Amino acid sequence: MAETIKNLFTLIQFGGPLLGGVIALGATVVLPTVRRVDMKRELKEMRNQAVLWGVIVAPLGTAIVGFLLNNVVAGGASCGF
């Protein structure tokens, strides 16, 4: 069980920035080709959300949950983050 939790948080920690970076890069590359203003606004918002949630929140959330499991939860030290 502890190994499964560790693998899940490793996936979030490294997959979040990877997926967020790909979405942000894709939105940035496509932005000049779009003509409609409302679509450009949506792409800019998508880029900002991808950077915020994928690159900043996912690794930070993993660190916080790892801290809680290691220091607060009884028996959580067996997770070995």
Residue-wise pLDDT for 14-31, tens only, equals 777 878 888 888 888 888
Question: Which pLDDT band holds residue 51 (cuts at 50, 70, 90)?
Answer: confident
Record the tokens describing residue 42, joined without a space.
């949506």
Question: Which pLDDT band holds residue 1 (cuts at 50, 70, 90)?
Answer: low
Report the amino acid identity of residue 49: Q
- Which residues make Cβ contacts (< 8 Å) with residue 24, sequence separation at least 6? 47, 50, 51, 54, 55
Contact 50, 25 (CB under 8 A): no
Question: Which pLDDT band holds residue 33 (cuts at 50, 70, 90)?
Answer: confident
**DSSP summary character for residue 75:** T
For the entire predicted model, the pTM comes to 0.60
